[in-house]
Amino acid sequence: MARIGVFICQCGKNIESTVDTKKVADEMAELPGVVYSCNYRFMCSAPGQEDVKKAIKKHKLDGVVVAACSPHMHEKTFRRACEAAGVNPYKCEMANIREQCSWVHHDTTKKAGTAKSIDITRMTIERLKKNKPLKKISIPVNKRALVIGGGIAGIQAALDIAEGGREVILVEREPSIGGNMARLSETFPTMDCSQCILTPKMVEAELHDNIKLYTWSEVEKVDGYIGNFTVQIRKKARYVDEELCTGCGDCLVKCPFKAPSEFEMGLATRKVIYTPFPQAVPNIPVIDAARCPKIQKGKCGICEKVCGPGAIDYEQTDQIVTEEVGAIVVATGYQVMPTARFGEYGAGKIKDVITGLHFERLASSAGPTGGEIRRPSDDKVPDSVVFIQCSGSRDEAKGVAYCSKICCMYTAKHTMLYKHKVPDGQAYVFYMDIRAGGKRYEEFTRRAIEKEGAMYLRGRVSRVYERDGKVIVQGADTLSGDQIEIEAEMVVLASAVVSRTGADQLAQKLGISYDRYKFFNEYHPKLKPVETVTGGIFLAGTCMGPMDIPDAVSMGSAVAGKVLGLFSAEEMAREPITASVNTMICNACWDCVVACPYTAIEKEEVRNKKGEIVRVNAKVNDGLCQGCGVCVAACRSKAIDLAGYTDEQVYAAISVF
């Protein structure tokens, strides 16, 4: 027979004013298995907790029910007290007679409150009788981190983790790290050159002893759980031996074939063997296999002939490498909505309608025009440029509902860059609102308007079309109420920041959630902004939504703090609320495998001594199981149960309802 102690809290007057706690305690004393029952003014106070401990010793209690506030409030407190007195913490339960009883039933005759408290406490006692002692699960932690994405957020996270003394695997899909920030000309509001502040960080990441770089690589498969992930990385064939290549660049010079440059967003060409930009890290070229005549048809082979160290290898194939890590940082960044999406702005058919990211390349001194603003169609320096803000943003009918956050600022920057480079030129900006929240941001946009001569027009553009080599922009100025037609020579769309193509597939590989725009979801928008719901997987930068460089860098550092925290102990402890399979009953229907949201259930093969499979059954991985219990209800043969919420416990509570 159980030996249960019941403690009814008065919570000062909070419970006592509508519940007769003495009567509840007396009634509970009569129940079988209850050997001690009392009421007290403040159970959670130090003397209250002491009373619990004393009663445990004196009455040799093996279980405790505290009828007081919500378990969300003090379950931990009382479980700790019980543990200190030698009772397994999971043999302590709370009956919620405050939030869900005394506070919501204002009957001062105490009739309703007392009756309900008796029911609630009795149900909890019966449930407790079926509780099993449980032990916290400890998981070993592999103290290496994987960072997916080598943009500024990923680089920052990798550097900070590496500086904290832990190994980092940095995986980048492109041939070089740097991300979108490497494309930018100058950065708002300080106007310092993007490459000048980014390149040193890229080099630092390459040279850091604790960072292992995989460029031109993608995450193929992720298994495991917090502290113990196994990651397969596809190293795409580079056709250049990374060990032998010295980065001399002779192959790039001699290669006779050209293709549009991805890095320059089609504004320039690159060779078929190429590095995306001169400061690439690592400075090792890649052969564009689809366009290389040697690889396709066996004709050419010039790069191999000119390569001094003999690094060219046309036979190279994709390699799968496996890395074991304890934490994963996702920093896969963003892309911009392409001009083809905007039917009213020429549907991508007008050459001189470009996105803001294209303009960055035109303004960059390392860009295709050497930093001169020349329009793509005929290289002419445009005498007027119209900037259209909120292209695709803040209008669900035309694109996305959200604000892309960075466009107001970079458009102001673009008008200034244009003005500095083309002093006689006129910049026009169509805007909805100017959102310049941030340190020195408002001052920056005011400068563009007041000092740098940009003409800001509040209103939307209805149509953009070509006429006689000009780009005609028709729009409304809602402040004057006029219809406007501007004969511009170039149009720059502040095109919406959108998630990366394939973001959803990566999320599925990782088991993290994403929103309707395929931006990854943080665990909690305010209090857990860099965590995901999957333990051990973190987010940094624009893969979770539009943000500017300072925000992305802050997130990168924040994530590093989280990862280093996780790595600070040899093992991590977690709540033992996990499912387990009774293998004797499991009939291997795999309904649970399908139902589990965490891929925590595996198919286990049981073999005899000869190594023959004698049975297959489901098996729950404790490290992955989050304790939701979906599998328990899904199991037809009742082979799965959830510790802490077993069928037995639930039925016991219902039986005294």
Partner 1 sequence: MEKAVKETDEKLAEEKQPGAAAWEPKIMAFVCNWCTYAGADLAGTSRMEYRPNVRIVKLPCTGRIDPLFIIKAFENGADGVLVSGCHPGDCHYTAGNYHARRRWIGFKSLMEFVGLDMRRLHFSWVSASEAIKWVDLINSITDDIKKLGPFMEYRGLK
Partner 2 sequence: MKLTYYPGCTLNTVAKQFDASAKKSALELGFEMDELSEWNCCGASFPLTPDNIMGLSAPTKVLAQARKAGDTVMTLCSVCYNVLKRTNKVIRDDTDRRDVVCGFIEEDYDGSIDVLHFLEVLRDRVGFEKVKEAVKRPLEGLKAGAYYGCMLLRPFEDMGIDNCEDPTIFEDLLKALGCEPVGFPNKIECCGSHLALGKDNEEIVTKLSGNVMQSAAGSGAELIVTSCPLCQYNLDGAQEKLEASMPGYRPVPIVYFTQILGLSLGQSETELGLDTSRWDARPLLKEKGI
What residue ranges bind partner 1 (CB under 8 A)? 70-72, 96, 98-101, 103-107, 112-113, 115-116, 119-120, 123, 513, 533, 577, 595, 597-598, 626-630, 632-634, 642, 645, 647, 650-651, 653-657
Amino acid at 411: T
Minimal distance, residue 344 CB to partner 2, in Å: 4
Q: Under 8 Å CB-to-CB from 115, ≥6 apart: which residues? A: none
Q: Work out what residue 343 binds among partner 2, partner 1, none; the CB cut-off runs from 5 to 8 Å by kind.
A: partner 2
343 contributes a contact to partner 2 by CB under 8 A = yes
How far apart CA 158 and CA 211 sit, in angstroms, is 7
Q: Which is nearer to partner 2, 27 or 352 (CB)?
A: 352
User: Which of partner 1, partner 2, none sits in contact with 100, Cβ below 5 to 8 A by type?
Assistant: partner 1
342 binds partner 2 (CB under 8 A): yes
Could you tell me which residues come within 8 angstroms of residue 38 by beta carbon, excluding any fewer than 6 positions away? 6, 7, 8, 25, 51, 55
Query: d(Cα 159, Cα 165) in Å, to the nearest integer?
Result: 10
Cβ nearer to partner 1, comparing 25 with 118? 118
Restricted to residues 263-322, the positions that interact with partner 2 (CB under 8 A) are: none
Residue 106 contacts which entry, partner 2, partner 1, none (Cβ below 5-8 A, type-dependent): partner 1
> Can you tell me the distance from the alpha carbon of 326 to that of 457, in angstroms, rounded to the nearest whole number?
52
Q: Is 278 helix (H, G, I), strand (E, B) or coil?
A: coil
Q: Is 132 helix (H, G, I), strand (E, B) or coil?
A: coil
DSSP string, 19-59: S-HHHHHHHHHTSTTEEEEEEES-TTSHHHHHHHHHHHHHT
Are the C-beta atoms of 2 and 63 separated by less than 8 Å? yes
Among the listed ranges 146-154, 189-197, 340-348, 632-640, the one in contact with partner 2 (CB under 8 A) is 340-348
3-state secondary structure of 210: coil
Complex with partner 2: residue 33 or 348, whichever CB lies closer? 348
What is the Cα–Cα distance from 657 to 655, expressed in whole angstroms?
A: 6
Q: Measuring CA to CA, which residue among 357, 333, 356 is closest to residue 519?
A: 333
Binds 501: which of partner 1, partner 2, none (CB < 5-8 Å by kind) = none
Nearer to partner 1 by C-beta: 365 or 505? 505
Q: Which residues are registered as beta bridge partners of 572?
A: 139
Residues in Cβ contact with 205 at an 8 Å cutoff, skipping those fewer than 6 apart: 150, 155, 158, 159, 162, 170, 177, 211, 213, 281
Indicate which of partner 2, partner 1, none lies near residue 105 (CB less than 5 to 8 Å, by partner kind).
partner 1
Paired residues of 605 in beta bridges: 616
Per CB under 8 A, does 347 bind partner 2? yes
Q: 474 or 583: whose CB is closer to partner 2? A: 474
* Closest to 56 measured CA to CA, from 94, 9, 4, 8: 4
Strand (E) or helix (H) holding 416: helix 407-421
Half-sphere exposure of 224 (CA within 13 A, CB side): 22
- Residue type present at position 261: S
Q: Which is nearer to partner 1, 422 or 503 (CB)?
A: 503
Residue 606 touches partner 2, criterion: CB under 8 A: no
Q: How far is the CB of 642 from partner 1 (least distance, A)?
A: 6
Rg (Cα) of the chain, in Å, rounded?
32
- 430 binds partner 2, rule: CB under 8 A: no
Taking the C-alpha atoms of residue 226 and residue 229, their distance in angstroms, rounded to an integer, is: 7
463 binds, among partner 2, partner 1, none (CB under 5 to 8 A by kind): partner 2
In the complex with partner 1, which residue's Cβ is closer, 10 or 445? 10
User: Which residue's CB is nearer to partner 2, number 58 or number 463?
Assistant: 463
**What does 397 interact with, of partner 2, partner 1, none (CB < 5 to 8 A by kind)?**
partner 2
Which one of partner 1, partner 2, none is in contact with 647 (Cβ closer than 5 to 8 A by kind)? partner 1
CB 454 within 8 A of CB 429: yes
Per CB under 8 A, 465 contacts partner 2 = yes
The DSSP call for residue 528 is: B
- Residues that contact partner 2, how many (by CB under 8 A): 10
Task: Please say which residue, 50 or 107, places its beta carbon nearer to partner 1.
Answer: 107
Among 57, 59, 111, 463, binds partner 2 (CB under 8 A): 463
Q: Which two tokens stand for residue 341?
A: 């999406």
Pick between residue 98 and residue 143 the one whose CB is nearest to partner 1. Answer: 98
The single-letter DSSP state of residue 514 is B
To the nearest whole angstrom, how small is the minimum distance from the Cβ of residue 30 to partner 1? 20
Give whichever of 98 and 358 is closer to partner 1, judged by the CB atom: 98
Q: Choose from partner 2, partner 1, none: what does 467 bind? Cβ within 5-8 Å by kind.
A: partner 2
- Report the length, in residues, of the chain: 657
Token look-up 């509780």 returns 131
Of 29-37, 462-470, 565-573, 638-646, the segment contacting partner 2 by CB under 8 A is 462-470
Please say which residue, 68 or 473, places its beta carbon nearer to partner 2: 473
Contacts of residue 50, Cβ cutoff 8 Å, sequence gap at least 6: none
Q: Which of 46, 290, 397, 584 binds partner 2 (CB under 8 A)?
A: 397
Partner from partner 1, partner 2, none contacting 533, C-beta within 5 to 8 A by type: partner 1
Report what 590 binds from partner 1, partner 2, none; CB cut-off 5-8 Å by kind: none
Give just the sign of the alpha carbon dihedral 243, 246, 247, 249.
Answer: negative
Residue 342 binds which one of partner 2, partner 1, none, with CB within 5 to 8 A depending on kind? Answer: partner 2
CB 258 within 8 A of CB 175: no
The site partner of 333 among partner 2, partner 1, none (C-beta below 5 to 8 Å per kind) is none
Round to whole Å and give the CA distance between 48 and 30. 23
Q: Nearest-CA neighbor of 425 among 350, 469, 374, 477?
A: 374
Task: Say how far apart CA 345 and CA 431 lie, in whole Å.
Answer: 15
Nearest to 150 by CA among 95, 105, 193, 211: 211
Instruction: In angstroms, give the least distance from the CB of 390 to partner 2.
Output: 16
Whose Cβ is closer to partner 1: residue 396's or residue 657's? 657
Closer CB to partner 2, residue 465 or residue 517? 465
CB of 553 to partner 1, least distance (A): 29
Write down the least CB distance from residue 339 to partner 2, Å: 11
Taking the complex as a whole, the smallest distance from the CB of residue 657 to partner 1 amounts, in Å, to 5
CB closer to partner 2, 343 vs 565: 343
3-state secondary structure (DSSP) of residue 579: strand
CB 577, min distance to partner 1, A: 7
For residue 32, the minimal CB distance to partner 2 (Å) is: 59
Residues 6+ apart with CB under 8 A from 45: none
What mask, x for binding partner 2 by CB under 8 A, covers residues 471 to 500? -x----------------------------
Question: Residue 119 carries which side chain, given as an amino acid letter?
Answer: D
Smallest gap, in angstroms, from Cβ of residue 460 to partner 2?
Answer: 13
| Residue 344 engages partner 2 in binding (rule: CB under 8 A) | yes
What does the binding site for partner 2 look like in residue numbers (CB under 8 A)? 342-344, 347, 397, 463, 465-467, 472
